[in-house]
Amino acid sequence: MEVSDIIKPENQVFCKTQLLTDTTLSYCPGCGHGTAHSITMEVIEEMGIVQDTIGVAPVGCSVLAYDFMNIDMTQAAHGRAPAVATAISRVWPNKYVFTYQGDGDLAAIGTAETIHACNRGENIVIIFVNNGIYGMTGGQMAPTTLEGMMSSTSPYGRDVKTMGMPIKMTELVANLPGVYYATRQAVHTHKHVRKAKKAIKKAFENTRLNNGISFIEIVSNCNSGWKMTPNESNIWMEENMFPYFPLGDIKVNGKLK
Amino acid sequence: MSELKLMKGNEALAEAAIRAGADAYFGYPITPQSEVIEYLMTEQPEKRTGMVVLQAESEVAAINMVYGAASTGKKVMTSSSSPGISLKLEGISYLAGAELPAVIVNVVRGGPGLGTIQPSQADYFQSVKGGGHGDYHLYVLAPSSVQEMADFVEDAFDIAFKYRAPVLILSDGLIGQMMEKVELKDQQERLTDEEVIKRHDSWATTGKTNRERNIITSLDLVSEKMEARVHRLMAKYKKMEEEDLRFEKIMCDDADYLFVAYGSSARIAQKAVELGREKGLKVGLLRPITLFPFPKKQLLDLADQVKGMLSVEMSAGQMVEDVKLAVEHKVPVEHFGRTGGIIHTPEEVLEALEQKIIKENGSIRYHKTRESSIL
Ligand SMILES: Cc1ncc(C[n+]2csc(CCOP(=O)(O)OP(=O)(O)O)c2C)c(N)n1
């Protein structure tokens, strides 16, 4: 029996969305970026909005998101995706515009762009993958690195006396009137993936209804940066990241929870 | 119908952007160019043509907004003054690398640092030598009147779209702030979304239809691809030089001495030409209208005719280096200019020519050095 005898449309219970290319992912095995990509693309496919969707890729591990997402995409300078998305959405008010950013991108170098896009209530979706570290550049400390957590630039653990506490971006922006929906999700188990996908769908629905900013944080792992196996990193994430970055909705329909 | 008005340079530029059918403007206030965004906010082009105007949170945000709108094939502009342009440079480099059409305006003030709010031409190096990182150039237009502040907006958009490259209008606080008579062109229709898609569907990110996806990026992790990208840019710059070089020659036909000056300084040097001619000195002026590409060949030709050249700029001497490179040591080239926000007078300019070029009779000295170095 050949593989092609088995892989037939009628035998397939689960199909990869057409909106993911066949390019091999550049992410480390076990990384959450791939899952976050695929649920985002599934939502766009299910809503039938690909012809009206423009994505903005960041600088970070997901800089090459456009190699994997089979949609029109613009790659932004480090941290500036919300400004880039602002303009696209202003000159194409009927389009679905989203950014996909890491924590260094969104919460360090791009803090001003994030806050102001949120404050203006731009009609865009922000997908914020928080892995508590700078993955792309080799595991340096991020604004979201936990207290005491080791990284290549906090080799003795993050000292909050000199570096401050890890920043809770989603709570911060949820307090801005321009933000309509703010939620924190994860993608390391089926249950979490289903919930996160629902949240992303809600976010794109918000764009359709012109509701303003939807801000979706996905707390994720970075097994390479954290120097763990994929499984260890997921357990570590549950035990350490989730208590500080609790999952769940923070603001829904413009109202704080 | 075109319209005759008395306007500040900054206002004329803003009005011309609306009339050129621009889709968007993103900016951040800074003296001496704040009138651009103030005028646009007052005019409400959103109502007149549908043009978007947004005050960004910083120059960094503004240039990245430009990048976003440009990546979708829309006609977009930003303006600032020196410190603000420094902040925009990463974004400008991205625009060049990602091959996006956009118009950037610098109404230059004195620097470095916070400098001064008075006019200056000290951003020449930044404008023509890259400024931002990497192998790129901007097509640089230098207006010397309020009329040109208006006219160059449309020209800049045409070049930006012809080459899919960022274009800089390099003005200064004098042209930006002074009022002159200006003839404004008729309103051009803004392209509809359908027209934008039709024109730019081969590259712009407007949403994937039945075509391959469009990607805007300046990233090439494979070095050979990155080198090919740079070569593509260099080919554009060569074509700009062949097809879109602009300059003006004033009283050059019989000139023994030449001023080289752009923008405000060209206006002042033109007066100095008149003063010189009244004294019986055969003085001419070559005004580069594009600073990149630079009128190298024209200068080299003139080097066979004149005895010396004075590069006149409101800076400590920047363009003078390009003039020297262009003339290949055939004639002496000196710099004159006040800087720090001071505007030189035509009298000072003429005196500098007499003292630095005519008195020293340097052409003979230079030729000798050149010959001896060849020997
Ligand atoms: C202006 C600028 N500064 C620094 C960098 C280097 N850099 C690239 S990615 C990155 C950090 C990315 O981390 P994050 O946003 O957390 O994303 P991740 O890689 O973890 O997904 C940095 C500092 C850059 N490309 N540009």
Which residues does B contribute to its contact with A (CB < 8 Å)? 23-24, 26, 52, 54, 56-58, 60-62, 64-69, 71-72, 74, 76, 90-91, 94, 98, 193, 205-209, 213-219
Nearest CA to ligand 1 atom 2: A78
H-helix or E-strand containing B106?
strand B102-108
Per-residue model confidence (pLDDT) at position B369: 42
**Distance, CA of A209 to CA of A203 (rounded, Å):** 10
Contact residues, chain B, for A71 at CB < 8 Å: 207-208, 213
Contact residues, chain B, for A115 at CB < 8 Å: 57
Per-residue model confidence (pLDDT) at position B372: 39
In a domain, A9, yes or no: no
Per-residue model confidence (pLDDT) at position B118: 97
Assess contact for B266 and B249: CB atoms under 8 A: no
pLDDT in tens, A146-161: 999 999 999 999 999 9
pLDDT in tens, B172-198: 999 999 999 999 999 999 999 999 999
In a domain, A110, yes or no: yes
- Nearest-CA residue of chain B relative to A99? B68
Nearest to A208 by CA among A95, A116, A48, A111: A95
What secondary structure does DSSP assign to A182-251, as a single string?
EEEEE-SSHHHHHHHHHHHHHHHHHHHTT--EEEEEEE---HHHHTS-HHHHHHHIIIIIHHHS--EEEE
**Ligand 1 atom at minimum distance from A136 CA:** 19
**Main-chain dihedrals φ then ψ at residue A56, nearest 5 degrees:** -120, 120
Number of domains in chain A: 1
B247-374 architecture in CATH?
Answer: 3-Layer(aba) Sandwich (3.40)
For residue B112, is the peptide bond before it cis, meaning its omega torsion is within 30 degrees of 0? yes
pLDDT in tens, B60-109: 999 999 999 999 999 999 999 999 999 999 999 999 999 999 999 999 99
* Residue B41 pLDDT exceeds 70: yes
Average pLDDT over residues B205-232: 98
Distance A168 CA to ligand 1 centre (A): 19
Q: Please report, as a single letter, which amino acid is at residue A86.
A: T
**Distance, CA of B276 to CA of B353 (rounded, Å):** 9
Mutation pick from A19, A45, A68, A72 vs chain B, by most beta carbons of B within 10 Å, is A72
Residue contact B205–A73, C-beta within 8 A: yes
Per-residue model confidence (pLDDT) at position B366: 42
What is the third-level CATH fold of B3-202+231-241?
A: Rossmann fold (3.40.50)
| Rg of chain B (C-alpha set) | 21
Domain boundaries, chain B: 3-202+231-241, 247-374
Instruction: Quote the domain boundaries for residue A208.
Output: 27-256
Per-residue model confidence (pLDDT) at position B365: 42
Contacts of B158 (CB under 8 A, 6+ apart): none
In angstroms, the separation between the Cα of residue A126 and the nearest Cα of chain B is 15
- Nearest-CA residue of chain B relative to A59? B219
**Distance, CA of A104 to CA of A98 (rounded, Å):** 18
| Residue B298 vs residues A244, B105, B267: alpha-carbon distances, Å | 68, 26, 20
In a domain, A8, yes or no: no
Under DSSP, the state recorded for B190 is P
In tens digits, chain A (257 residues) has pLDDT values of: 888 887 788 887 888 899 999 999 999 999 999 999 999 999 999 999 999 999 999 999 999 999 999 999 999 999 999 999 999 999 999 999 999 999 999 999 999 999 999 999 999 999 999 999 999 999 999 999 999 999 999 999 999 999 999 999 999 999 999 999 999 999 999 999 999 999 999 999 999 999 999 999 999 999 999 999 999 999 999 999 999 999 999 999 999 99
Contact residues, chain B, for A90 at CB < 8 Å: 24, 52, 54, 65, 69
Residue contact B72–A56, C-beta within 8 A: no
Per-residue model confidence (pLDDT) at position A2: 84
Question: What number is the ipTM of this complex?
Answer: 0.96
Per-residue model confidence (pLDDT) at position B370: 42
B3-202+231-241 against B247-374: fold identical: yes
Per-residue model confidence (pLDDT) at position B360: 61
Smallest Cβ–Cβ distance between A54 and the set B24, B64, B205 belongs to B205
Distance B245 CA to ligand 1 centre (A): 39
**Ligand 1 atom at minimum distance from A144 CA:** 16
CA end-to-end span of chain B: 65
What CATH code is carried by the domain that includes residue A177?
3.40.50.970
The structure tokens 């004075």 sit at: B310
| pTM for the structure as a whole | 0.96
Q: Is A169 in the pocket of ligand 1 (CB under 6 A)?
A: no
Smallest Cβ–Cβ distance between B68 and the set A53, A87, A116 belongs to A87
- Nearest-CA residue of chain A relative to B100? A74
